[in-house]
Amino acid sequence: MLLTGAEILLECLIREGVEVMFGYPGGAILPTYDAMAKYPQLKHVLVRHEQGASHMADGYARASGRVGVCIATSGPGATNLVTGLATAMMDSVGIVAITGQVSRGSIGTDAFQETDVTGVTLPVTKHNYLVMSAAEIPHVVHEAFHIASSGRPGPVLIDIPKDVQTEKAEFKVENYPPKLKLPGYQVPKGATETELESALELIRNAKKPLILAGHGIMMSGAVQELRELAELAGIPVTLTLLGKGAMPENHPLCLGMMGMHGNAACNYAIQEADLLIALGMRFDDRVTGNLKTYSPNSRKIHVEIDPSEINKNVKVDVGINGDLRTVMRQLVPGLPRKTHPEWMAQIRDWQEDASEREILTHYTGEGLLGAQVVNDLWRLTDGNAITVSDVGQHQMLEAQYYPHQRPQTMLTSGGLGTMGFGFPAAIGAKFAKPDEEVWAVVGDGGFQMTLAELATARQENVPVKIAILNNSFLGMVRQWQEFFYEERYQSTPMVNPDFCKLAEAYGIPSMRVTKRAEIEQAVAFARSVDGPVLIEFQILAEEIVYPMVPAGNDLHNMIRRPKPGESQ
């Protein structure tokens, strides 16, 4: 077939299994949009801002495990994708971004809406391409999807000049996919015998072992292997923020989330362990605190697909560069069947102390807590919803008070900490999982960064439920100001719109909640509507998320909620 570059591009996307794209048209990408009419099997979702498109593709990818696709025009359209690309890069999410570019003859002339997109996005993509002929498109597209989804996943950008999209070339269906030509791109597989034996020896001798489970568990499909390893060797499991869901949080060996706002028992266990087994995590600073005092008495095993992460932040005794699922399958047959009753008893003591500090058990105030909202949402949805959050206090409350039992059901921006991520990513997640209940749990600050996507949700009638935890503050920044800046609340109080009237303007049903007794009715109302719904929860302005490890401090040196009758 003799097809235009735009038609070849769409033919290739179909053969890569793409069903939905999130984008915004413009002059340099218009030939591709014009060709979409010939391919009704490709669903296109019109966003209201290109950043929303990249977050939707990201949410789609996280929820489905497949590559998400976003599309934009040249210049400002392409640069508006950058925040979403950086978000996906930091969290190892496979998306493919397609951007239009000015015609080949105009490149380098500062033409209207020209930007060096490959140069701009080089630091925030796993790879990118500038396509200079229509004949290249099949190879580029197939390579892009392979790179985005293999090894350590990540975003890939394809920049296509406008005249390449109109140029004709031969496309042979029977020749797709073309043979990959990536001699410098090798994805590691399993561990060597020496590495396996070294790791097993450390596990056999450990008396206080601990597993640190990260996002890589889900990325590699190693959820079952993690459970087998933990149960067989009797090793408790802690989770990173993005690792939530890697192991059911009601499992007796699962201790919950570690780190800056993690469970105190997790952090104490890390500091007291004699062996850390880090699986698919990168020892981020929000997890480790002060590196000089991090888990000082432990030997360390690190299994990671990206060799650059091993020994980058934390020096380890055994570093295994390989696919996590493959390595864990190699490890399990050699594991000893053990239990660690004394170690688990110590952990239970820490957990009991934490439960005595739990605000939900002793709060008697009249104001509504964000913790109450999230915990009631968990109870009323039977813990089965996909929750998608922005970044801030509400994100940490979601991580603490909504236990997840399944993988890929808590979606959030971890590494980059992107405000505005939650709502558009929830739309993408709903397209990926149309039969799942999806809640965007967002703060009043982050929500306003991408609230224009209310129009997208309305136009597509996407049944995403939006829970806004409104405290009229940039809550997490305000908390830092309270603790470390003598309560100087500079530029954190917010004058917000009436979110219910805002929803009404978009034709979206809404409800406002000011008391805990109203939560159940509001959630029932949201679930009854076949379409988007917005619930505004007016929560206390000065709620604090405990515990908190001050930035750069020792992991065990947490600011903790006082017990009843105990002074701070």
Per residue in 94-115, pLDDT tens?
999 999 999 999 999 999 999 9
Quick check: 72 pLDDT over 70? yes
Mean pLDDT of 440-462: 98
The three-point CA angle 533-537-541 to 5° equals 150
What is the residue-averaged pLDDT of the chain? 97
Quick check: 567 pLDDT over 80? no
- Residue 257 — φ and ψ, nearest 5°? -85, 140
In the CATH scheme, what architecture does the domain 193-352 have? 3-Layer(aba) Sandwich (3.40)
Quick check: helix, strand or coil at residue 101? strand
User: What class has domain 363-538?
Assistant: alpha beta
d(CA 7, CA 32): 7
Element (H, E) at 217: helix 216-219
For residue 568, what pLDDT band results from cuts at 50, 70 and 90?
Answer: low
| Ramachandran area for residue 22 (φ above 0: left; ψ -120 to 50: alpha; else beta) | beta
Domain with CATH 3.40.50.970 in the chain: 2-175, 363-538
Quick check: 117 pLDDT over 90? yes
Domain with CATH 3.40.50.1220 in the chain: 193-352
For residue 565, what pLDDT band results from cuts at 50, 70 and 90?
Answer: confident
What's the topology of domain 2-175? Rossmann fold (3.40.50)
Q: What is the pLDDT of residue 128?
A: 98
How many C-beta atoms lie closer than 10 Å to residue 199's C-beta?
Answer: 26
Instruction: Please list the alpha-helical segments (H only) found in 92-186.
Output: 117-121, 137-149, 162-166
**% of the chain exceeding 70 in pLDDT:** 100
Mean pLDDT of 513-532: 98
Pairing label, strands 168-170, 2-4? antiparallel
Give the active site residues: 50, 112-113, 162, 476
Could you give the maximum distance between any two Cα atoms of the chain, in Å? 79
Beta-strand (E) ranges in 52-167? 68-72, 95-101, 127-130, 156-161
Bond before 547 cis per omega within 30 degrees: yes
Quick check: 564 pLDDT over 90? no
**Comparing 83-87, 149-153, 183-187, 518-522, which segment has the lowest mean pLDDT?**
183-187
Element (H, E) at 503: helix 499-505
Mean pLDDT of 79-91: 98
Q: What is the pLDDT of residue 561?
A: 94
